[in-house]
């Protein structure tokens, strides 16, 4: 009887992981529609980075990255879930492509490093900021390459304008994670 109960719990944990991964795909997609266009940049401000950071922290590096990769593949596959209801491979190769790649890398980074944040909120927040820095840097480098502009110009249109909002989103994502950390550890072992 005990073996059966343990097996059911294991199946429940596996199902929970699948559902949580799907939830972060949906949250990332929905948050793409919370956007503020910037007149001087081809990239809008969105709410997505908050859920990218939470996906990595809550699900770990594998599932956190898988949730973001699934989001990208669904959009490339034709679902209009990118910012401004965009979809397709051309969207991935457009100005936001580097940020989308950064979603996956940030998920891996924070998933691997969250264990080192310890019991202090400031450490968790700093880690979320570092992951966001990685994500934004990917976007900035892609903009430089795609548009053939200087590093300074790509910094000015692809990094600097997003910094205040990214700090805000990293703060609230870290706060949410920090408060939910005991539950996350219990549910996912992260």
Number of domain units in the chain: 1
Cβ neighbour number for residue 165 with a 10 Å cutoff: 16
Q: Please give the residue range of the domain that contains residue 40.
A: 2-188
CATH number reported for the structural domain that contains residue 41 in this entry:
1.10.1760.20
Q: Provide the 3-class DSSP secondary structure of residue 174.
A: helix
State the chain's mean pLDDT as an integer.
91
pLDDT given for residue 106 in this prediction? 97
- DSSP, res 36: E
pLDDT given for residue 15 in this prediction? 87
Q: Which residues contact 116 (CB under 8 A, 6 or more apart)?
A: 123, 127
pTM of the predicted structure, to 2 decimals: 0.90
pLDDT per position as a tens digit, 12-50: 788 888 999 999 999 999 999 999 999 999 999 999 999
Distance, in Å, from the CA atom of 184 to the CA atom of 84, rounded to the nearest integer, reads: 32
Residue 166: CA count within 13 A, CB half-sphere: 23
């Amino acid at each position: 009887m005990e073996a059966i109960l343990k097996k059911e719990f294991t199946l429940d944990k596996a199902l929970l992981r699948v559902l949580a991964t799907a939830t972060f795909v949906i949250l990332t997609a929905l948050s793409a529609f919370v956007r503020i266009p910037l007149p001087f940049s081809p990239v809008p401000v969105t709410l997505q980075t908050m859920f990218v950071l939470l996906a990595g922290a809550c699900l770990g590096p594998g599932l956190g990255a898988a949730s973001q990769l699934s989001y990208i593949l669904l959009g490339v596959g034709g679902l209009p879930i990118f910012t401004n209801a965009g979809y397709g491979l051309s969207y991935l190769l457009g100005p936001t492509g580097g940020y989308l790649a950064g979603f996956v890398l940030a998920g891996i980074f924070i998933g691997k490093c969250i264990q080192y944040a310890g019991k202090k909120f400031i450490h968790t927040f700093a880690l979320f900021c570092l992951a966001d820095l990685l994500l934004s840097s990917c976007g900035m480098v892609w903009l430089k390459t795609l548009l053939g502009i200087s590093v300074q110009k790509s910094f000015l249109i692809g990094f600097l304008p997003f910094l205040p909002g990214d700090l805000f989103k990293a703060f609230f994502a870290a706060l949410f994670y920090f408060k939910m950390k005991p539950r996350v550890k219990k549910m996912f072992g992260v």
